[in-house]
Amino acid sequence: MVSSENRAPTSGAPPSGPPRDQESWGGVMPAVLTMFDADGALDEVATAEHIERLVSEGVHGVVVGGTSGEFIGLSPAERDRLVQVAVRTVRGRVPVVAGTGAYATQETIELTRAAAGRGADGAIVILPYFQKPTRDEVMRHLRSVGAASPIPVMAYNNPANSGAPELRAADLAALFGDGAITAVKSTFPSVHQVHEARAAVPDEAFRILYGSFTAPLEALAGGADGWISGILNVVAADALALFDAIGRADLAAARQAWARILPIRRLYTEQLLGPVGDLAIYRGILRLRGLPGGHCRAPLLDLTPSQEERLAEILDASDKPEKLAATAAPGRHT
């Protein structure tokens, strides 16, 4: 549902930038939050403002309609509108990669073709979820989508969220060799999958994007071409500093940049606000900064007023290292 006051202008054709292939995919690519209003309606205006801010900060690409974009709670029409908003906002300045994955192969193909028609530079396709398909079924799914897609396909290798078997390095090599995929977002608690994927597919046309917030420094140092994550909605500047430092082999600067990001990650990994989701935390941070943060769509919940007050205290302390230790309440660490 999109209320009229939340609808972005739609006049004119989507702006066309220079042709982009998957070889431009890399660097810092936020998994963009989808903005909803307090009634749960898709807020295109706020979403466009948020994307514009990220691009203006210097990110290298945007991923819309992914996990952090709450694709699982969007209707097909809303997913289509989201791609339109992103393409019109970005205006060819950076690649727009659209989340087009669904459980059903045919629906995924239709969503991918629709995104291509709206001007998306690529598609990110989650492993077929919930029904726990076999590895052969996952491989066939991705081959079918890749064969039917007019744009490059990034496999979203996230077995924890999807419930599907992980794509091993040999699987990625086979899919790339078949022309089914041209990239992977590798979302695991560890980073060895990045090293293994690069060893299995040394061709730099195959793009490897680290997809978690656990160890981006190690992933980038180990051969990842870039970083896709929801946390990048709120730490883009430091993430860019981290990426640039790794590129010039300045490990000390990379560690400093990661140290500035760590307090934000700890909010979720150590549940410093209590049992809350990461998207609610990012939205709360944006609101505290006076920026559009939107609301989560049910069943996900926003922060409570007391949690947002606690968040403000922790963010204030994160700028003052001598106060930071005092913000971690006993019993809240996982």
The ranges assigned to domains in the chain are 23-270
Catalytic residue (one of 103, 156, 282, 323): 156
Residue 206 reports pLDDT greater than 90: yes
Share of the chain above pLDDT 70, in %: 88
Phi and psi at residue 161, to the nearest 5°: -75, -35
Question: pLDDT digits over 108-138, tens only?
Answer: 999 999 999 999 999 999 999 999 999 999 9
pLDDT given for residue 189 in this prediction:
84
Cis peptide before 299 (omega within 30 of 0): yes
Burial class (CB in 10 A: 0-12, 13-18, 19+), 162: buried
Q: Nearest Cα to 45, choosing from 58, 34, 57, 56?
A: 34
Residue 210 annotated in active site: no
Average pLDDT, integer, range 182-200:
93
As a whole number, mean pLDDT of residues 183-196 equals: 92
Q: Of 103, 129, 132, 185, which residue is the catalytic one?
A: 185
Main-chain dihedrals φ then ψ at residue 303, nearest 5 degrees: -65, 145
Q: Return d(Cα 240, Cα 292) in angstroms, integer.
A: 21
Work out the mean pLDDT of the chain and round it to a whole number.
91
Reported pTM: 0.90
Q: What separation, in Å, do the N-terminal and C-terminal C-alpha atoms of the chain show?
A: 37
Active site residue 185: yes
For residue range 318-334, list pLDDT tens digits in order.
765 444 444 444 333 32
Q: Which CATH superfamily is domain 23-270 in?
A: Aldolase class I (3.20.20.70)
